[in-house]
Chain A
Amino acid sequence: MKRNPFPLVVLALVLVFLYLPIVVLTANSFNLSRFGGSWEGFTLKWYGQLLNDNQVWFAFVNSLLIAAGATLASCVLGTTAALSLHRWRSRLQGIHYGLIYTPLVVPEILMGISLLLSFTAVGMDCGLHTILLAHITFCVSYVTMTVLARLQDFDDSLIEAARDLGANAWVSFIRVQFPLLLPGIISGGLLAFTLSIDDFVITFFVAGPGSSTLPLKVYSMIKHSPKLPVINCLSTVMLALTFALVLASRAFQNRRHPKAPNGRKHGAIA
């Protein structure tokens, strides 16, 4: 039997295009040469510069604050939106769905400039708060869609059973529906966090004085900075952190559900 080599070739190409740039970037973060054209020796000096670069850390903290705030707010708003969209079918809800759906398809640049114009129209100064508002605006849509998908295979009779057994609306939501929806909310939240932390276009428009986020800072460094390798270091550090987080959450899940083949069934009625 002869194997078709095509899938292997595709796999190899995908791996090369996905991971080679990351390998080059990581290698260059240790390269003595500022311009990365050739390998001139191992150094940690760019990491030293990164540690001492207050502006980068300031932007990093801004990004984290905004991503955390936007994730929390959009999880709450997105979940309630999904619940109401799921429960009621009316013309008003049709419009509601349309409104939620729009930010997913509107080009980012359009959203950015229109947000900036409306903020200035009401006399609002730009800053962290306007970035937060803008990020919540687009994150809500993503959370809503994820939770809505989860609600679609939700068995409503579970709530009826809970009510039947004497739970009031609040208790049945908190003890039955919420735990079942939680994986959807969490994945929506993770999506929102990722989108918020690396958004450039919208953030660029609504950022004000003293509110540079990491993507804004990195972009201006790429265009105009003698300290280009510092970006490589920063990316390497973030990459390592991401891997560590993923590995940690895997380990955590395995410990919690050593036998359950499918995590979401576990804990449903607990």
Chain B
Amino acid sequence: MKTPRLLALLGLSAALFAGCGPKRPTLHLYTWSDYLDPELVAAFEQAHGCRVKIDTFDSNETMYAKVLAGSGGYDVIFPSSYQISLMVQNNMLRPLDKSKLPNVTTNFDPSYTGVILNPDMTYNVPYAVTFTGLAYRKDKTGGATVDSWACLDNPVFKGRISLLNDFRETLGAALKSLGHSLNSTHPAELKQACEVVLRWKKNIAKFDNEQYKTGIASGEFLLGHGYSGDIAQVMLEDTENIGFAFPKEGFTAACDEMVIPATAREVELAHAFINFLYDPDNACKNIQYICAPMPNKAALAKLPPEYRDNPAILPPAEVMGKAEVLKDLGAANKLYSDAWDTIKATE
């Protein structure tokens, strides 16, 4: 007979599902894929007698949509800065208890205050900062110095450049090259920026967000507008030939942060986890894993030289002042998307 066997199997699977309800407390993280050193997770589980379960999202928008629709139960979420104000407005976050985060208070590096959107840290603790700059092939610059957005006009690189397919980033670069703020909402400034990007467009190969890493690694592109964390990964593979430059006119900074949602169940454990990650030794280990700096002074000082000297991982202090954070522009976003449409439609 088939029926009892079916029932037994159903019962078994039910038991397995029930088995997921642990006796030990479980901390649920909602973060980007491979964005946390698994050894640290194991160490935290051991130290606090708990389990850590990690779920991953692929963009701030999808994470936001899910949590807003009522998917609760996450204890620590890792959104980018600009998403946080929106989450605060919708009462989705719980204010942090600073007394439970002594490592954050002691170790936070104030030189990063300029590149995080919410420096008062009521709801958020910065996790990792990334910058947007220019990756280039050291071996094929044809004598040109890569240190400015002006390189995008240089005929040496013609047809071998990729620009980010992101209107805030690319129009932001154009605004910076003109000396404007990359959060500008002046229609006239945007019009100028639009013309600059149209001029660049004649010199570049394509707009791209994913494949440029491959392109730079293989030498297909000589110049790539990209995120420092991504480029750092490429540079670790090929330190000799790939460089990363911060354009002297200014560039974007973005920060992923840790927040505790209002629906969190393990609030104590969540605080303990954030505090644990800010421990200098742990933070130092994690920075090497994710290739992006956590603004933790003691940890940054402990980094081994090959990480400390890589500008894509740890930007030199003198360029930090030129970084500007992308802000949510609300209604003015339309100015950017309209300009971008024009750029995309023009041959």
B225 at the interface (CB under 8 A from A): no
B58 in contact with A224 (CB, 8 Å): yes
Contact partners of B35 in chain A: CB under 8 A: 224
A205 at the interface (CB under 8 A from B): yes
Task: Give the distance in Å from the alpha carbon of A218 to the alpha carbon of B127 in the complex.
Answer: 23
Which of A113, A129, A178, A217 makes the CB contact (< 8 A) with B33?
Answer: A217
Give 1 or 0 for each of B64-85: 1 = CB within 8 Å of chain A CB.
0010011111110000000000
- Assuming the contacts A35-B213, A220-B57, asked whether A69 and B71 have C-beta atoms less than 8 A apart, the reply is no
A73 at the interface (CB under 8 A from B): yes
Which of A34, A210, A219 makes the CB contact (< 8 A) with B28?
Answer: A210
B34 in contact with A211 (CB, 8 Å): no
- Assuming the contacts A37-B214, A76-B6, A128-B17, asked whether A219 and B69 have C-beta atoms less than 8 A apart, the reply is no
Contact partners of B55 in chain A: CB under 8 A: 207, 209-212, 216
- Assuming the contacts A37-B218, A38-B218, A225-B33, asked whether A69 and B13 have C-beta atoms less than 8 A apart, the reply is yes
A220 in contact with B38 (CB, 8 Å): no
Which of B1, B9, B16, B58 makes the CB contact (< 8 A) with A223?
Answer: B58
Contact partners of B16 in chain A: CB under 8 A: 65
A262 at the interface (CB under 8 A from B): no
Contact partners of A117 in chain B: CB under 8 A: 69-70
Interface range, A side? 35 or more
Question: A252: shortest Cβ distance to chain B, in Å?
Answer: 18
Which of B2, B53, B57, B233 makes the CB contact (< 8 A) with A209?
Answer: B53
A7 at the interface (CB under 8 A from B): no
Task: Give the distance in Å from the alpha carbon of A209 to the alpha carbon of B70 in the complex.
Answer: 12
A80 at the interface (CB under 8 A from B): no
Task: Give the distance in Å from the alpha carbon of A120 to the alpha carbon of B66 in the complex.
Answer: 11
Total number of residue pairs linking A and B with CB closer than 8 Å: 115
Interface residues of A in 117-164 (CB under 8 A from B): 117, 120, 125-129, 132
B311 at the interface (CB under 8 A from A): no
B interface SS class: mixed
- Assuming the contacts A35-B218, A37-B214, A37-B218, asked whether A116 and B71 have C-beta atoms less than 8 A apart, the reply is yes
Contact partners of B47 in chain A: CB under 8 A: none
- Assuming the contacts A34-B233, A35-B218, A35-B234, asked whether A226 and B34 have C-beta atoms less than 8 A apart, the reply is yes
Task: Give the distance in Å from the alpha carbon of A197 to the alpha carbon of B53 in the complex.
Answer: 21
Interface residues of B in 1-29 (CB under 8 A from A): 1-2, 6, 9-10, 13, 16-17, 20, 26, 28
Question: B247: shortest Cβ distance to chain A, in Å?
Answer: 24
- Assuming the contacts A68-B13, A219-B58, asked whether A226 and B291 have C-beta atoms less than 8 A apart, the reply is yes
A223 in contact with B59 (CB, 8 Å): yes
Contact partners of B75 in chain A: CB under 8 A: 209
Which of A33, A127, A226 makes the CB contact (< 8 A) with B217?
Answer: A33
Which of A208, A217, A222 makes the CB contact (< 8 A) with B71?
Answer: A208
Question: Hey, which bits of chain B sit against chain A, CB under 8 A?
Answer: 1-2, 6, 9-10, 13, 16-17, 20, 26, 28, 30, 32-35, 38, 53-59, 62, 66, 69-75, 213-215, 217-218, 220, 233-234, 237, 291
